[in-house]
Amino acid sequence: MILQTLKKEWYVVVLLILPFIFSAYIWDELPDEVPTHFNLQGEADDWGPKWVNAIMFPAIGLGTYLLLVFLPLIDPKKRIESTQKPIAAIRIITSMFMVFMYVFIMAESLGTDINFSIYLQIAIGMLFLVLGNYMHSIKQNYFIGVRTPWTLENETVWKRTHRITAKVWTAGGLIMMIAPLAISHSVAYWSIFGVVIAVLVLVPVIYSYVIFQQLDSQTS
């Protein structure tokens, strides 16, 4: 099954390997210290050795993809096998996002004058939008989705929580995509971004708890 997945998604593997090849090609052109952290204005505010951006970051992307591929082998109850279609979509969109992040980081490392900040903001929103579209189809498992004590305990809570999560994440992704186009001030945008992220995280957790308590009271 693992080999079949890798053969089917060969283009994703190639996409994730390309950053290593590019890093090797431009290695001598990279400064010894490169930006490794950015503030709300998209400006670098911390630096580190060039291998962090050139090697470690693409390694994280490749490692994340392989972890998602090999999940069925470490799933104790083999629940993950029943939700492979949405997880495949998550693997692909996450890999594309990580490669885009690599392009942004390397452009900054090379001192490119192009401001990628707005594209990064839209890409983050698009990531949540796409993930939101697949949330409702993720079946109960230990690795992917809203894994609270209440969703893992009750399958009904899992399903209802992921239905609401799909709606919230889709709406949140749209807001994050539109906001940088409508708001020119980056600090204002990232403030909105922070609020949206808080909503995306807290709503599913709180909702799963409330639904679990309601179902529990009905059965007791």
Tokens of 109: 């490392």
Taking the C-alpha atoms of residue 197 and residue 191, their distance in angstroms, rounded to an integer, is 10
Taking the C-alpha atoms of residue 67 and residue 73, their distance in angstroms, rounded to an integer, is 10
Taking the C-alpha atoms of residue 159 and residue 207, their distance in angstroms, rounded to an integer, is 12
Provide the residue ranges of all domains of the chain, joining segments of one domain with +: 1-114, 116-220
Q: pLDDT tens track of the chain, all 220 residues? A: 678 888 899 999 999 999 999 999 999 999 999 988 776 566 677 889 999 999 999 999 999 999 999 887 887 777 777 777 888 889 999 999 999 999 989 998 998 877 677 788 888 899 999 999 999 999 898 888 999 999 999 999 999 999 999 999 999 999 999 988 887 666 677 788 889 999 999 999 999 999 999 998 887 6
pTM for this entry: 0.82
